[in-house]
Structure 1
Amino acid sequence: MFDEMGLRMMELAGKGFCCSQIMVLLALEEMGRESPDTVRAAAGLCDGLGDCSGLCGVFTGASLVFGLYAGKGEDVEDKDERLPLMLEQLRDWFVATTREYGGMTCGDILDGQCGQPDAQRCSSLLSTTYAQVREILVDNGFDPAEGRG
C-alpha cells in the first residue's frame, strides 16, 4: 500500500516525468511553487545522464533540491554555507543505501536495464531519498515548505 507521497510519485511517473524531475517537482510542490524551466532542466539528468552510465536521477535530482534551498540564484545572493555539508550528507547516505545494488549509477540500480525503471526499486529509492532530503534540510535549519525567499 502506498502513502500519499508514494501515490504522487507514481502519478508523476505515469505522466512521463523521470526520477530527477520527480524529486524537483515534489520539492517545488511542497514550497507551493511552480518552475517549469527548472523541471525541464532536471530532464538532462534522466536515466543516469541519458545512457544509465551516470549517477542515478534520484540522487542528482535530490542534489538539485538542495540547490533550490541553498544555492545562489541571483547576483545579490550568496550560496548558503550549509550547501556543501548537505550534499556530503546526502552522498554518504545514498552510497550506503545503494550499496546493495552495486553502486549509485542508474545502470547499477537497474541491473543494466537502461530506460526501463524498476517500479519497486525506483519508487522505494525515490520515497526514501525524498524523506532523507527533508530530514537533512530540517537538520540544517531549513523549512522544506519555505524554500529560499
Structure 2
Amino acid sequence: MLDDTGLKMMELGGKGYCCSQIMVMLALDEMGRDNPDLIRAASGLCNGLGDCSGVCGVYTGAAVLLGLYGGKGEDMEEPADVLPLMLEELRDWFVDATTHYGGTACKDILDGQCGQPDTTRCGGLVAATYARIREILVDNGLDPSEGRSLS
C-alpha cells in the first residue's frame, strides 16, 4: 500500500515531472512553498543529465535538496557548516543503495533501457532517497518542514 508520499510521487510522475523535479517538489510541498523556477531548473538533471549517461537524477535532485536546506543563497548568508558532511552522507548512502544496479548512472539503474523511467526502480529509489534526505536533515539539526527563509 502506498503512503501519502508514494501517492504524491505517482501523481507528479503522471503529470510528466521527472525524478529530480519530484524530489524538489516533495521538499517544497513539505515546506509549504511554491517555486516554479527551481522546479524548472531541476529538469536539467532529469534522465542522467539528459541522455541517461550521467549520474541519476534522483541523486542530483537529492543533492539540490541538501543545498536548498544548507546552502548559501544571499550575500549576508553563510552555508550551514554541516552541508559538506550531509552531501558526503548522501553520496555514501546512494552509492550503497545502487550497488546492485552496477552504478549510480541513470543507464546503470535502468539497465541500459533509457528514455522511459522504470516506475518500480525509479519510484522506489525516489521514495527511499527522499526518506534518507529527511533523516540526514534531522540528524544534522535541520527541520525538513522549514528550510531556509526565502527573502
Larger deviation: 73-82 or 14-23? 73-82
Identity, % of aligned pairs?
68
TM-score (norm 1): 0.98
Aligned residue in 2 for 1:93: 93
Write out per-residue CA displacement over residues 117-138 of structure 1, whole angstroms, 9 at most, x where no aligned residue: 1111111101000000000000
Compute the TM-score of the two structures, normalised by the length of structure 2.
Answer: 0.97
Secondary structure in structure 2 of the residue aligned to 1:60? helix
CA deviation after TM superposition for structure 1 residue 2, in Å? 1.2
Give SS of 2:98's match.
helix
CA-to-aligned-CA distance 1:83-115 (integer Å, 9 cap, x gap): 110000000000000000000010000011111
How many aligned positions are there? 149
Task: Note the 1:120-139 alignment, pairs <5 A.
Answer: 120-139=120-139
Any runs of at least 4 consecutive aligned residues in structure 1 with deviations exceeding 6 A, and if so which? none
Q: What amino acid does structure 1 have at the position aligned with 2:49?
A: L
Distance 1:105 1:52 in 2: 7
Q: Indicate the RMSD between aligned Cα atoms, in angstroms.
A: 0.6
In 2, the alpha carbon distance for the partners of 1:113 and 1:50 equals 14
Partner AA of 2:130 in structure 1:
Y
- Which residue identity lines up with residue 121 of structure 1 in the other structure? R
Secondary structure of the equivalent of 1:81?
Answer: coil
Question: What 5-or-longer segments of structure 1 have no aligned partner?
Answer: none
CA apart distance, 1:79: 1.2
Q: Distance in 1 between matches of 2:113 and 2:50?
A: 12
Once the 2 structures are TM-superposed, how far is the Cα of residue 38 of structure 1 from its aligned partner?
0.4
